[in-house]
Structure 1
Amino acid sequence: MERVDEGLAFMLKYENVAWYEDGKVRILDRRVYPTEVRFVTCDNHGQVAQAVADMVTQSAGPYTAAGMGMALAAHECRDSSSKEKIDYLNKAGHRLANARPTTANRMSLVVKGCLKVAKRAMESGEKLDEAIFNHTVNAMNNRYSRIGIVAKYLADMFPENGNVMTQCFGETIVGMMLKEAKNRNKNVKLFCPETRPYLQGARLTASVAYDQGFDVTVITDNMPAFTMKTKNIDVFTSAADSICLDGHIVNKVGTLQIAIAAKYFQVPYFVTGIPDKDYKNISQVKIEERDPNQVLECRGIKNTMDGVKGYYPSFDITPPSLISGVVTDKGILSPYDVNRYFETKVEDYY
C-alpha cells in the first residue's frame, strides 16, 4: 500500500492520529498539542469512546479512532464464541459510533464497515483484530486519497499568491490542500481563527500549515470580518461535520458568522467534504451541546466569577445562501444541487 500521508504534517501521519497495537489504542492528545506531544493510551474500546467524547481527537480523527477501537474490541472478545464475538462487536460499535451525537451517522458507517470485515474474517479464520486494523488503515489511506481529489478542486480556487481564511480544524483537507498548493507552487497565506474553547484553529490548523512550510497567522474568533477587509482575504474555506442534501452544512460553531462576513465582503466560501446521503434535510441533524463550563475557562484556567453561566453549542448551521460551492471528489457542486453527487456511483468512503 502506498501511503498518502507522505509529505503531511506530524499530526496527520497515520500512527499519530490513532493506532492499534499490542492490545491497546494510542491516540494523539490534540487537547494539548503542539505545546505538548502526548498520547492517550486506551486499554479497552470504552476508553476509546470516552476519548472521542472528551475531544482527545476530533475532526476526522474519531473515524480512525472508532476503527482502531473496533480492533481493540475484537481483541477483548478473542476467546469468546463466534456468536458472542459478533454480539460484543455490535455493542462496542454502537458505543463508539454514538460517542458524539452530531457525527453519529458517519461514525456508524465506520463501525458497520468494521463489522463486515469481522464477519468475513471469522469465515476465513483470520484474526479479527488484525483484519479490522488492516481495514481501518486501508480506509484511512482511501480517505486521504479521496480528500486529495477534493484538494485539487479546492486548490483551483486559490490565487497564485492568495490569502485563505480557515475555520476550526478540517483534518485531512487542511494537509492535502496545502500539499496540493505546494505542488502547484501556489504561495498562499493562511489566516486561522483560534476556535475557542479548544483552540483547534490556533493549535491544530496553524500547526499543520507551519509544519508544511506555509505562512500562517492566527486571529481570535472576533476578528474574521475585520481581517477579511484589511488583509484582502481571497477565499474562506472549511470542512463540514455534516453536509445535508438540502444544502445546509453543520460545522464548528463560528462558521456561520464567518460565512455571513464573507458574503458581505464578497469573499467566496467553499465547504469541503462528502455529502451525507442519510441527511435529507437539516432537521435530521442533532446539534451537540457540550459542558458550558468549558466556555468559562481556557486550557484549564477559569476566566469568570463563580455564578456566571456559559453556553456551548459545539456546532452551528450555515444555510446554502451563504455557500459558494460544496467541494467534493466529483467536483464543485452548488449547495442547491448537492443531490447530484449521488447520480453516479459512490465508492464506500469509510
Structure 2
Amino acid sequence: MSTPVLADSVRLTDDGVEILDRRVFPEQRVWVHCGGVEDVAKAIEDMVTQSSGPYFAALWAMVLAAREAAHLEPAAARAHLDAAGERLIATRRTNNHLRKAVAAALSDVDGQAGEELVATVLAGARAGDERYRSRSAALGRHTADLLPDGATVLTHCWADLYLVELVRAAADKNVSYICTETRPYRQGARLTAETLAEMGVDTTLITDGMGAAVLAEGTVDALVTAADRVTMDGHVINKIGTLGLAVAAAAFDVPFHAMVQAPDRLAPTAADVPIEYRDGREIVDRPGIRGHYPAFDITPPRFVTTVVTDRGPFDPRRLAGYYQEVP
C-alpha cells in the first residue's frame, strides 16, 4: 500500500521548512515556505497545517531556531531556543503535540553552541519524527485488532497518521470508511476522504448533520476518531462534533474507539485542557450575524468505549494503567 501525500507534508530544507498547505488540498498542492520560527508559528495558527502536521512543523522549526542561535554563546542560545519553543507551543494549546515536539528537539541540548548545537537539535528532531511514526503504527495495529472483518467505520475530522496506519493495519479486513465533512474547515471532505481514496479503500463522505442518522441505520460497526488529547480521567478532547457523534453512537450501541498515542499525565481532568476558540468570522462574516467557533469539544468517558494507545486498548476509566504497564 503506497504512502499517501499527507503522510509527508512537512519538510526541512537548507533554507527553511516547507509545509503543504492543507487549506487548499487536494484541489491544489501548494507548499508554503517558512524561513524562520515565526513563519512556522503563523502557518500553524493560520491552519496551513493541522492534526499532527503542527507536531512535525514544530520539530523542524526548532532546527531553524538552532540555526538562528548558532552564533550565540551557550546561555543565550538556550534562551533563544526556549523562546522559540514557547512561541510554537502557544500556537495551538489544546493539542499537546507541540509541547512534545519541542521537548524532543531539545532533549539533549546541554551547553552546546555553534554547529554542535544545530546537530544536537537536528538529531532530537529526527528522533522525535521517527518516534511519532513508530508509535502511530503501533496505535494503528491495536485499533485494527478491535475491528471485525468487513467492518464499516465512521470517522470524524482528519486523524492523520493514526488513520493512515489504521488503514494499513486493517488492509486484510476489507474495512470500509464513512467520513464526515467536518465543518467549517472540511478536513474530513478534503483530507480524510482524499487520503482514504488514495489508499484504495472503500470511502463514503457524509455531511456533519448525517452522523446520527447513519449510526441509527445499524450498518456502522465502530466510531473511530483521533484524540487531540485524552485526560487521565478519560475525557476525550477532539475536533468539534466528536461529542455529538459519541453520544449518538452510545444511543445506538456502536462502540467509540478514540485513538491517542498516550493519555496526558499533565491533564488529570478536562479542566486542565485549554479549549481553543477560533475567530467566529471563520464560520460567518456578515453584518448582524455572530459566529461561534470552539475548535474542540470534550467527550466524557461514559460515551467512550475504548481509548486505544500505542501500548494497546484501555478502558477510559483505567488510563493510569498505561503508565504502570511499562516503567
Normalising by structure 1, we get a TM-score of 0.89
Distance 1:7 1:133, change over 3 A: farther
- Report the CA distance between 1:87 and its aligned residue: 1.1
Q: Which of these residues, 23, 28, 44, is aligned with residue 20 of structure 2?
A: 28
Match of 1:116 in 2: 107
**Structure 2 counterpart of 1:315, one-letter code:** F
Does residue 171 (structure 1) correspond to residue 160 (structure 2)? The answer is: yes
Distance 1:268 1:171, change over 3 A: same
Q: Deviations over 1:289-341 (max 9, x none)?
A: 00001111xxxxx6xx4221110000000000000011112221101111111
Q: Which of these residues, 289, 296, 299, is aligned with residue 308 of structure 1?
A: 289
Q: Which of these residues, 293, 308, 313, is aligned with residue 281 of structure 2?
A: 293
- Report the CA distance between 1:8 and its aligned residue: 2.4
Match runs of 1:138-287 below 5 Å? 138-182=127-171, 185-230=172-217, 232-273=219-260, 274-287=262-275
Unaligned 5+ residue runs, structure 2?
Answer: none
- Report the CA distance between 1:260 and its aligned residue: 0.7
8 Å Cα contact 1:238/1:271 also seen in 2: yes
**Structure 2 counterpart of 1:337, one-letter code:** R
Distance 1:41 1:306, change over 3 A: same
- Report the CA distance between 1:231 and its aligned residue: 6.4
Unaligned 5+ residue runs, structure 1?
Answer: 1-5, 297-301
Distance 1:112 1:141, change over 3 A: closer
8 Å Cα contact 2:255/2:304 also seen in 1: yes
8 Å Cα contact 1:255/1:318 also seen in 2: yes
Tell me, what secondary structure is at the counterpart of 2:208? coil
- How many positions carry a matched residue from both structures? 326
Tell me, what secondary structure is at the counterpart of 1:337? coil
Inter-partner Cα distance in structure 1 for 2:116 and 2:29: 32
Match of 1:344 in 2: 325
**Structure 2 counterpart of 1:189, one-letter code:** S
8 Å Cα contact 1:202/1:218 also seen in 2: yes
**Structure 1 counterpart of 2:40, one-letter code:** V
8 Å Cα contact 2:227/2:258 also seen in 1: yes
Q: Deviations over 1:144-190 (max 9, x none)?
A: 111211111211122211110001111111100001111xx111111
Inter-partner Cα distance in structure 2 for 1:270 and 1:116: 32
Tell me, what secondary structure is at the counterpart of 1:312? coil
Match of 1:322 in 2: 303
Inter-partner Cα distance in structure 2 for 1:232 and 1:116: 47
Determine what percentage of the aligned residue pairs are the same residue.
Answer: 36
Does residue 45 (structure 1) correspond to residue 34 (structure 2)? The answer is: no
8 Å Cα contact 2:234/2:316 also seen in 1: yes
8 Å Cα contact 2:232/2:263 also seen in 1: yes
8 Å Cα contact 1:164/1:188 also seen in 2: yes
Match runs of 1:20-99 below 5 Å? 20-99=12-91
Q: Which of these residues, 3, 9, 17, is aligned with residue 8 of structure 1?
A: 3
**Structure 1 counterpart of 2:146, one-letter code:** M
- Report the CA distance between 1:81 and its aligned residue: 1.9
- Report the CA distance between 1:126 and its aligned residue: 4.8
8 Å Cα contact 1:7/1:179 also seen in 2: no
Tell me, what secondary structure is at the counterpart of 1:159? coil
Q: Deviations over 1:250-275 (max 9, x none)?
A: 10000000001101111100001111
**Structure 2 counterpart of 1:198, one-letter code:** Y
CA RMSD of aligned residues (A): 1.7
Q: Deviations over 1:233-252 (max 9, x none)?
A: 11101111110011111100
Normalising by structure 2, we get a TM-score of 0.95
Moved more, 327-336 or 129-138: 129-138
**Structure 2 counterpart of 1:59, one-letter code:** S
Inter-partner Cα distance in structure 1 for 2:302 and 2:280: 30
Inter-partner Cα distance in structure 2 for 1:128 and 1:34: 38
Inter-partner Cα distance in structure 1 for 2:25 and 2:299: 29
Tell me, what secondary structure is at the counterpart of 1:116? coil
**Structure 2 counterpart of 1:141, one-letter code:** E
Moved more, 208-217 or 312-321: 208-217
Q: Which of these residues, 131, 135, 158, is aligned with residue 120 of structure 2?
A: 131
Tell me, what secondary structure is at the counterpart of 1:64? helix
Tell me, what secondary structure is at the counterpart of 1:336? coil
Inter-partner Cα distance in structure 2 for 1:213 and 1:165: 17
8 Å Cα contact 2:280/2:292 also seen in 1: yes
